[in-house]
Amino acid sequence: MNWIETHFLDIGLSWSSSKALPYFLSILLGLILVFLIKKIRFNKNWIKWAISLFVLLLPFSVYFAFYPIYEGDFSNLGVIPNSKIKFPTQKALTVVVLPDCPYCHQAIPLIDKIKSRNPKMTINYWVVTSDSLPPKTGILSKISSDYQVCQRLDVVEISQLVLGTFPCFILSENNKAIKVWNNNQFGVRALDEMEGFFTRSLYY
């Protein structure tokens, strides 16, 4: 998320609102500019309309050029899993990662932002590998001490649960997985659903 969206998050707006609002504000700015231009007299009417159209589209186009909307930005296509893997008893968000996965590294700031907005939320990291991991190396050196981190050796079972995609984000309660998102499905609508899941928690 860019600094504008982050500002809206910091003042308490939802993930979806923080993502969409800058685009609406850019359109509003274009409309204001058109209103101001209409007060200017032009020799030919078509010039006035051409300039009005240009300034109407300009703010949105500039913002979109710097911060385009990608396919997964508003995604919420998580699946309800059928797995016997045991999860924590309390409501939790489990982030499933690989030690050297670049996308897993890139997701860390997002998880930190989620935690800053929801300090009481339980967030766990599962590092999936069949090899022993040296402490505080690779992705382990980047994960905050605010999260419980464990190595998962049941590689086949975990890979089946996340359908072979990493990172993966799993909501769970009462030792069972409730919903699973891969990295391309975990858009702002999914983030809002995830936060709502914890807000309704008896433990939150």
Q: Tokens in use for 158?
A: 């975990």
Q: What is the spatial distance between Cα 32 and Cα 59, in angstroms, rounded to a whole number?
A: 11
- Burial level of 104, CB count in 10 A (0-12/13-18/19+)? buried
Query: Which among 169, 204, 166 has a CA at the least distance from the CA of 190?
Result: 169
Percent of the chain at pLDDT > 90 equals 68
Q: Is the pLDDT of residue 139 over 90?
A: no
DSSP-assigned letters across all residues of 97-125? E-TT-HHHHHTHHHHHHHHHH-TT--EEE
Tell me the per-residue pLDDT of 77-133, one tens digit each, with 9 for 90 and over: 899 998 889 998 999 999 999 988 999 999 999 999 999 999 999 999 999 988 877
Average pLDDT, the chain: 90
Q: Is the pLDDT of residue 13 over 90?
A: yes
**What is the CA angle 151-92-100, rounded to 5?**
35
Domains present along the chain, CATH in parentheses: 3-66 (no CATH), 92-199 (3.40.30.10)
pLDDT of 135: 61
pLDDT greater at residue 162 or residue 46: 162
Query: Diameter of the chain by CA atoms?
Result: 77
